[in-house]
Structure 1
Amino acid sequence: MARIGRFRNETAREEYLRAYAAMEGLWPLPSTVSDVPTAYGSTHVRRSGAGAGLPLVLLHGFGGNGLYWYDVVEDLARDRVVVALDTVGSAGRSVQAAPLARDADYGAWFAQVLDGLGLDRAHVLGESLGAWHATLTALHAPDRVASVSLIEPNGVFTRTPVRALFRMLRFGATGSTDEGWRRMREWLTPGTDPTDVELACLKAAQGYRTAAGWARPLKDAELASIAAPLLAVYGAESVLSEPDAARRRLAERLPGAEVEIVPGGGHGVRGQVPGQVSARVARFVGQHDPSVRVDG
């Protein structure tokens, strides 16, 4: 039965909102925030940047929120508005009111957010679980998606390794100590250096019972049906993805897709080399924008 995401209790909600407020100080650009009503609940939106390009919508990973893009938003917003969402069903300032029971519901939710913002189309960028949600927008709201960029889309084109799933489940059950968090970061996102406020927000997110769904490998027909230009960025050493297998499958089923595999990168490749990843995404988005062209 489809669930509605919620905090365990009021204490957990208040703890999370304090951590969220502290994290807002990391956002480097002027921004406006709003709450867009949809059939699935109120969606918290943060907008920054300006320019002639079509807006770029950002979808965060598991346990995150729209603020986690703070380290790359300046690069992404050089010639367009960037719209960072707190995904409904995840910890954040969005408030879920109805289940996202089917894959198509994510497309409907995304379209309703764009409607509330007065946007006809947008580019979409998702990371990790957010890459799955971004893929669903391309599948189920294709007329609203100008391009889709995916960072570490584990479980979307190939299955997430079973051994990795077991390790993450064990962490969820027993690993919430400081030592457990350290070991998880060293395994999952080596080479990254999150701030104290980021870690505090991640820890506080454990007080939220998520209903954001999980990625599944696309069927061949689904993959072949994606019409939007697609970029997938992987860390070559990721423990959650199989970059070479994903590149082979995309070459066979969606030959127009672009795949970037970053040597030495892990699942946290954006945090390891934020400038490299943001530049790659910005170039791809610009090449598929009728208003902005990026050379190189």
Structure 2
Amino acid sequence: MKKENIPNILGKLNCSLVPKSYAMRTFMLLTFLVLQMGCVNKYEKYKKVPEYITGATGLNAAYYKAYDETLKLWDVSYEELYIPTTNGTAHVIVSGPRNSEPLVLLHGMNASSTMWYPNIESLSKDHLVFAVDFILEPGKSHLSNDIESVEEVIGWYKEVLTALELDSYHLIGASRGGWLAMKLALSNQEKIKSLVLLSPAQTFTWIKPSMDLFKNIATLFSSKEKQIAQSLESMSSDVANISDVYLNQYKLGLEQDSENKFITSMKPFSDEELKSLQMPVLVLIGDEDVINEEGTVDKANMLAKGEGKIIENAGHFLSIDQAETVNKKMDAFLNQ
């Protein structure tokens, strides 16, 4: 609480409905401050940086350093939380006004929460944002007990959100995070106020063969550098637009030991499941998206509260390719 805000608070308390006595005004001010401090310190117990990060060596140390460098691209203040769960430690980045509606972000495959660097300023303007690192992929979350099924993955997310004390929240998922967001939404409808899916993988339609996918397969026998270069070329409409700082972290993450588990479990959801969605849903895909096609948008528009749109000059990484456009559409949807 800044000192300059206290006179404003006292001014608000000084109205006809509030007793003018100094004692009463002081009591109410102290009550307000206690409530504010309670909010500020709500997650204090999760702020201690765990030893797997402070004592990291080799590739892990290099990756965590690169992760922190990418966080410097965030144009807003943030705090990092390390939440103990049944399966290990969940790393969550928190940004935005404390008294705003919560918004949860699920990143794409191998991307980590730092992928939101072009979007976080817009998203955290009117929302308290929680970006969660998926525990089975590169990031700052740490797996200690293995996860054996998709149902356990969703259970893990619910455990994290319970620890954050989120009674209701908006949810955004990108690519694989979009599929996971849909899975979470279907089993948690009473808590999710709205759902935004950015190029969701295998969510509405199957991924169909394309020249870009064949090129990715063809480079499997090439060097790791060529594989990454081809993958980025197929996923982004403008690779040069991606921050070199983020790319360095992304590439280091791909060198870590991590399993892309449950890929075969990612099947499109049935029409019955999709029609059961009760919250407003926004689906955005790029016009050069290798993962989705117009069928995704068509299905989104058939939902009871669904809206699907195609973003021009954008690939699968549309939140980076056309960040300004995507930010405006997400902001308008979340605040409607």
Q: Structure 1-normalised TM-score?
A: 0.85
Which residue in the other structure is 1:3 paired with? none
Say whether residues 1:205 and 2:253 are aligned partners. Answer: yes
Letter in 2 for 1:147: S
Could you say if the C-alpha distance between residues 167 and 222 of structure 1 is closer, same or farther in structure 2, counting changes exceeding 3 Å?
A: farther
1:261 counterpart SS class: strand
Describe how 1:5-20 pairs up with structure 2 within 5 A. 11-20=58-67
Which residue, out of 266, 283, 288, partners 1:237? 288
Which residue in the other structure is 2:277 paired with? 226
Which residue, out of 149, 157, 167, partners 2:196? 149
Deviations 1:191-222 (A, max 9, x none): 24122221111111112323453332112222
Unpaired stretches in structure 2, ≥5 consecutive residues: 1-55
Measure, in 2, the Cα distance between the counterparts of 1:237 and 1:58. 23
2:291 counterpart SS class: coil
Which residue in the other structure is 1:258 paired with? 307
How far the C-alpha of 1:72 sits from its partner, in A, is: 0.9
Measure, in 2, the Cα distance between the counterparts of 1:30 and 1:250. 34
Letter in 2 for 1:256: K
Deviations 1:96-126 (A, max 9, x none): 2334433333332222112111211111111
Which residue, out of 26, 31, 34, partners 2:81? 34
Letter in 2 for 1:262: I
Could you say if the C-alpha distance between residues 88 and 187 of structure 1 is closer, same or farther in structure 2, counting changes exceeding 3 Å?
A: same
Deviations 1:56-111 (A, max 9, x none): 11111111111111111111111121111111111111012334433333332222
Deviations 1:163-205 (A, max 9, x none): 455544554553522x443333222202241222211111111
Describe how 1:58-97 pairs up with structure 2 within 5 A. 58-97=105-144
Matched-pair contact (CA < 8 Å) for 1:152–1:241 = yes
Could you say if the C-alpha distance between residues 223 and 147 of structure 1 is closer, same or farther in structure 2, counting changes exceeding 3 Å?
A: same
Say whether residues 1:248 and 2:295 are aligned partners. Answer: no
Measure, in 2, the Cα distance between the counterparts of 1:151 and 1:265. 11
Q: Which has the higher contact order (CA 8 A, sep 6+)?
A: 1
Matched-pair contact (CA < 8 Å) for 1:123–1:147 = yes
Of residues 128-137 and 155-164 in structure 1, the stretch that sits farther from structure 2 once superposed is 155-164
Could you say if the C-alpha distance between residues 39 and 173 of structure 1 is closer, same or farther in structure 2, counting changes exceeding 3 Å?
A: farther
Matched-pair contact (CA < 8 Å) for 1:171–1:184 = no
Matched-pair contact (CA < 8 Å) for 2:283–2:300 = no
Measure, in 1, the Cα distance between the counterparts of 2:325 and 2:74. 19
Measure, in 2, the Cα distance between the counterparts of 1:248 and 1:138. 20
Matched-pair contact (CA < 8 Å) for 1:39–1:98 = yes
Measure, in 1, the Cα distance between the counterparts of 2:203 and 2:179. 6
Between Structure 1 and Structure 2, whose CA radius of gyration is higher?
Answer: 2
Of residues 159-168 and 103-112 in structure 1, the stretch that sits farther from structure 2 once superposed is 159-168
Letter in 2 for 1:187: S
Which residue in the other structure is 2:327 paired with? 278
Which residue in the other structure is 1:194 paired with? 242
Letter in 2 for 1:279: K
Matched-pair contact (CA < 8 Å) for 2:313–2:322 = no
Could you say if the C-alpha distance between residues 168 and 116 of structure 1 is closer, same or farther in structure 2, counting changes exceeding 3 Å?
A: farther
Matched-pair contact (CA < 8 Å) for 1:237–1:266 = yes
Deviations 1:253-289 (A, max 9, x none): x2421101112321122112111101111111112xx
Could you say if the C-alpha distance between residues 40 and 228 of structure 1 is closer, same or farther in structure 2, counting changes exceeding 3 Å?
A: farther
Matched-pair contact (CA < 8 Å) for 1:235–1:266 = yes
1:143 counterpart SS class: coil
Letter in 1 for 2:103: L
How far the C-alpha of 1:51 sits from its partner, in A, is: 5.8
Unpaired stretches in structure 1, ≥5 consecutive residues: 1-8, 288-296
Could you say if the C-alpha distance between residues 173 and 231 of structure 1 is closer, same or farther in structure 2, counting changes exceeding 3 Å?
A: farther
RMSD of the alignment, in Å? 2.2
Which residue, out of 135, 139, 143, partners 2:186? 139
Letter in 1 for 2:275: A
Could you say if the C-alpha distance between residues 170 and 37 of structure 1 is closer, same or farther in structure 2, counting changes exceeding 3 Å?
A: farther
Deviations 1:225-259 (A, max 9, x none): 222221100111212211x111223344x242110
Measure, in 2, the Cα distance between the counterparts of 1:283 and 1:222. 26
